Amino acid sequence: MHLSLGLTFIPPLLIAYRSQGFWMTTNTYMEQPDVTFKKQLMLILNKPQPGEFLAWSTYSNFNSLLDQNSIRIPIVSSVESDVNGDGKFDQLNFTVSIPLESTESITSFGLLLIFDYKLYRMSTLQMETLAYISHSSVSAGSSFVAYGDLRLYQKTPLRHRGVDTRFNTTIVDSADSSASTYDLSTIFSAYSQRNLTTQFLNKYPVWKSGRGAQQPFTIEVIISYPTETITYQPGFWELIKWGWVQYVTILLLFLWVFRKINIAVFSEQLFNTVIVHPKIKRH
Q: Domain-by-domain residue ranges, the chain?
A: 2-25+235-268, 28-232
Residues contacting residue 174 through CB under 8 Å, at least 6 positions apart: 40, 59, 60, 61, 62
pLDDT at 237: 72
What's the confidence (pLDDT) of residue 129?
98
* Residues of the chain scoring pLDDT < 50: none
Distance between CA atoms of residues 166 and 261, nearest Å: 58
Q: Are the C-beta atoms of residues 164 and 233 closer than 8 Å to each other?
A: no
pTM metric for this prediction: 0.80
* Structure confidence at residue 211 (pLDDT): 85
Helix axes 236-268, 2-18, angle to 10 degrees: 140
pLDDT of residue 104: 92
Interstrand relation of 34-46 and 124-141 (parallel, antiparallel or unpaired): unpaired
pLDDT for the residue numbered 233: 85
pLDDT for the residue numbered 122 = 87
Q: How far apart are CA 252 and CA 238, in angstroms?
A: 21
3-state secondary structure of 246: helix
DSSP 182: G
Q: What share of the chain is helix, strand, coil (3-state, %, to 5)?
A: 25, 40, 40
